[in-house]
A = this chain, B = another copy of it.
C-alpha cells in the first residue's frame, strides 16, 4: 500500500519555476495601458514594481531559476506533503484514488507564501526595504508579513477596516511577524483621507485598501514598492513550485492524475498546481484541469471574456480576463479569497481556449464537503479550499457511479484555523446560497471591452 504521506526530500525540491507563457499554443493578449489602450510597456509598471519582477512578468523563458536565498526560505516548509486521502476515499466508497497537495503546512497557512517570499527577495535585491500591500481576509497580509520578516524588510499592510475589527486573531498573527497594520480607509494616504472625509464611517473595501497601498508606493519615489498576491503572471509563476513538486511526488509512486483540481479566485493556487500539468496537455496528454469557483461569484462560468481593470478604482492596466465587471460586488460568502470580480489572464486564456474547465458551486455543499474532509483527513480546510474538495468529492462520486478508477489530484491551498467563524455559521445553519440573476451580470458587464481572440 502507498503511504498516506508522500514526502519529497528537501534535496529534491525543484530549483526552477515553470513559466507557462513559453508553451501556450497561442499568446495571451497583452495588458493594455488604461489611458492609451495600447499594449503596456515594461516601464509603465516601474512606479509600482521593481525591474526584476517586471522582467518575470513579461518573460517567455520556460524555466526560471529559483534563487538560492528563496530556496533556503522555501525549505522552512517545502517540499509540502502530497497525501493520499484514504479515509476520504473510504467514506465516499469510491474506486477513485484521491490525492491532495497540502499547502496548509506553510507558515502563513496557505500557498500565498510561495510568491510572498520571492517578491520580498526580488524587491530586496532591487534595493527596496519596504513593501506595502492590502489584505481582506488576511491570508495575503500574513504571507507578505512573514516573507518581509525573513528578509529584514518593513511591511505595511492596509487591512480592510471591517476585517481589522472582526478578525483580531488574524491581526495578531500578522503583527507577530512584525508587519505594521493600518485599518483602511486611513488618514495615512491622500486617497484614504479624501474617502474618509466623504464616508467617515466606511467599513472599507479591498478596492480602497489597494488604492492606499499603491499610492504609498507610487509617491515614495522608488523606496517603497507594492506587492500583489494573485492575478499577475509572476505570481502564477512562483506558485508552480506546487505542481512541480506534485509531479515528482506522483512519479515517485508511479501515479499520474486524470483530473487536477483547484479553487479559483484570482487563480494563483489553481495555476500553481495545474500549469505544470498543462504542458503535458498542450502536448496532447488526456488530462482534465478543473477550476472550481463559488456560484456567488461565477467569474469563469458566467463572466464575460474581455479587457477589464484589476481593481475597483480603475488604477491598474486593462487585463484580458473573464470578468463580472470591476464594479461588481459579490454577495458576502465565506470564501473571501474567491470574491474577486476577475481572474488572472493566464487562467482566463486556458479556459477560453478549452484547456481548462470551470465549475461553480454553492457554499452550503462546499462546507459540507469541507466538514467531511476534516473528519476524514484531520485538517480543517480554508473555505476557499473546500471548493476544490467538493470538486474532488463530486468527481469521486461520479467514479462510484461509473466504476472508473480515476486518479484525482487537488490543491488543499490552506487551512481554516482563522476561518472558524465561517464553520460556526455552517454548523448553526446560517449559510446562504446564491444564484445570481442573469440581468445583474449583464448590467455589471455591459461596458466590458469584449475580446474575440
Contacts and interface: CB of A to CB of B under 8 A. Distances in A.
Interface of A: 3-5, 7, 9-11, 75-77, 87, 105-107, 109, 146, 149, 168-173, 175-178, 371, 374-375, 377-380, 417-418, 420-421, 423-424, 427
Nearest to A113: B378
11 contacts: A3-B11, A76-B378, A77-B378, A169-B417, A169-B420, A169-B424, A170-B420, A172-B420, A175-B423, A176-B371, A177-B374
A403 to B, nearest CB: 26
B3 A75 contact: yes
Contacts of A421: 168-169, 172
Nearest to A378: B107
Given A168-B420, A375-B149, A417-B418, A380 B11 contact: no
A414 to B, nearest CB: 12
Nearest to A146: B378
A371 B146 CA distance: 12
Nearest to A7: B7
Closest A-B pairs by Cβ, 7 of them: A107-B378, A169-B420, A417-B417, A3-B10, A172-B424, A172-B420, A4-B75
A9 to B, nearest CB: 7
Within the oligomer, what is the number of copies of this chain?
2
Nearest to A5: B10
B76 A176 contact: no
Contacts of A378: 76-77, 106-107, 146
A374 B176 contact: yes
Nearest to A168: B424
Given A76-B378, A378-B107, A172 B427 contact: yes
Contacts of A380: 173, 176
Instruction: Name the prevailing secondary structure of the A interface residues.
Output: helix
Contacts of A77: 378
Nearest to A427: B175
B9 A420 contact: no
Contacts of A171: 424
A11 B379 CA distance: 22
Nearest to A102: B105
A170 B378 CA distance: 15
A423 B172 contact: yes
A332 to B, nearest CB: 18
A427 B145 CA distance: 15
Contacts of A75: 3-5
Given A76-B87, A107-B378, A375-B149, A423 B176 contact: yes
A34 B46 CA distance: 77
A9 B105 CA distance: 18
Contacts of A177: 374-375
Given A3-B9, A4-B75, A169-B417, 14 more contacts: A4-B10, A5-B10, A105-B105, A109-B417, A168-B420, A170-B420, A172-B420, A172-B427, A173-B417, A175-B423, A176-B371, A176-B374, A176-B427, A177-B374
A146 B380 CA distance: 11
A102 to B, nearest CB: 10
Nearest to A370: B176
B10 A107 contact: no
A178 B420 contact: no
Nearest to A74: B4
A4 B424 contact: no
